[in-house]
Structure 1
């Protein structure tokens, strides 16, 4: 099982969740400085904040940080040799950042992504149990000299990292089971759908603005006014649609 850790950390499910995080990140960041979103979205953040027992601003900051760390982790490749990561620190940082993203943004992930995190948490728990026996002893011997050189117990650091994702998933689930919230999942689904729609609209605009940027990142940076206009227009259309349906 330990030889399969690399493939687990490169699964498409992690990247699919990252696509949602990429779409939601601009909404989270703009929400810190703007009150332009619909009442449903504002209520979502208030409910999550109440769930965590903190302010809305602190909750948003946590989500922004969690989103950044998750995206950073998914885009960090890990090399393995003989079943062990060639860089223990890089491996641990990847798992830690994924865990931070899972715990901070649990409500923003799709049901499919949350189930995947539950599955991968169980996988890591099973893998961690194998480090208690003969397999763990062999790994400890292989890390003995590097640990002396670093003056750090690399085996313990490696072993403890296997429980980072399981702990994050467990805390996220237990928190939501201990406190009832009003339509939190339905509102989160609405937010995710809106984020995806905004992302699609932004990608649609980019081909018409190529002369303003040498690459996608520069286009986005230099065309904030156009993006803001597109977002405002979408919100206006959405409000009118809601009014017609009410």
Structure 2
């Protein structure tokens, strides 16, 4: 994000959100539809869908896309020179993906993470002033060459990027003012805990690769017994070949 804008503590907070989103991404990508989920998780998607005026299926797909974008953004390195991104387009793409993840996955972030997003939204808003006055003129001057090379107004793109995350956070907060969402957040935390439980369990190592999704990890494993048996037999065959038993 912005070079030098965040402390080490805030950087660590961002890494914790990455860990949670990675688990949820793994969990969601194994969902065929909201109907394949537990009652609690189904209700979570229905409530979020109601807030957004869309279907539960669309909400599920949106959150899946949001988790992917968020992780892509976190893993995108940005180089800076004189506190300005060397590649404005790459930088803006990173910010847009972070914002998409924040907005679509707002209800599964912890209270600490949501407070962190409010803080960085405020920091971006405050930092946007650097594009005004003499500082803005200096930045515009430094971006003349990139603008000519890319044949677009790079300065304006950079200036607008400061409001992308604040707008996403404001939209997420405003959307939930229409009703009490304490229960919704509890259901979101249930989803996160369920994803963490599966992700951290020994079974969870195998679940992402199984074709059939069950309402519980046990049901999924039961449905996939034939595939697991084939995989076990194939691994044993490969092991025998490796040890020279078939030579």
Q: 1:193 to 1:92 in 2, by over 3 A?
A: same
1:65-104 equivalence runs, <5 A: 65-104=65-104
The alpha carbon displacement at 1:133 in A equals 1.8
Q: 1:3 to 1:230 in 2, by over 3 A?
A: closer
What do the CA deviations read for 1:30-62 (whole angstroms, capped 9, x no partner)? 333363432111111100000111001111111
Tell me the distance in 2 between the aligned counterparts of 1:136 and 1:62: 36
The number of residue pairs the alignment matches comes to 220
Matched, 1:231 2:217: yes
Higher helix share: 1
Q: What TM-score, normalized to structure 2? A: 0.80
The alpha carbon displacement at 1:220 in A equals 7.3
Quote the residue 2:136 is aligned against. Answer: 136
Contact conserved, 2:33 with 2:57, CA < 8 A, in 1? no
Quote the residue 2:229 is aligned against. Answer: none
Contact conserved, 1:32 with 1:57, CA < 8 A, in 2? no
The alpha carbon displacement at 1:161 in A equals 0.6
**How well do the aligned residues superpose, as a CA RMSD in angstroms?**
2.8
1:58-207 equivalence runs, <5 A: 58-181=58-181, 183-202=183-202, 206=205
Where does the alignment leave 5 or more consecutive residues of structure 1 unmatched? 207-218, 237-246
Contact conserved, 1:51 with 1:181, CA < 8 A, in 2? no
Quote the residue 1:211 is aligned against. Answer: none
Contact conserved, 2:106 with 2:114, CA < 8 A, in 1? yes
Contact conserved, 2:29 with 2:64, CA < 8 A, in 1? yes
Q: 1:139 to 1:220 in 2, by over 3 A?
A: farther
The alpha carbon displacement at 1:5 in A equals 3.9
- Larger of the two Rg values belongs to structure: 2
The alpha carbon displacement at 1:27 in A equals 2.5
Tell me the distance in 2 between the aligned counterparts of 1:56 and 1:3: 38
Quote the residue 1:23 is aligned against. Answer: 23
Where does the alignment leave 5 or more consecutive residues of structure 2 unmatched? 223-247
Contact conserved, 2:66 with 2:104, CA < 8 A, in 1? yes
The alpha carbon displacement at 1:129 in A equals 1.7
Tell me the distance in 1 between the aligned counterparts of 2:147 and 2:70: 28
Quote the residue 1:14 is aligned against. Answer: 14
1:41-52 equivalence runs, <5 A: 41-52=41-52
Q: What TM-score, normalized to structure 1? A: 0.80
Q: 1:90 to 1:27 in 2, by over 3 A?
A: same
Contact conserved, 1:6 with 1:78, CA < 8 A, in 2? no
What do the CA deviations read for 1:165-193 (whole angstroms, capped 9, x no partner)? 00000000000012334710111111111
Quote the residue 1:38 is aligned against. Answer: 38
The alpha carbon displacement at 1:130 in A equals 2.2
Quote the residue 2:244 is aligned against. Answer: none
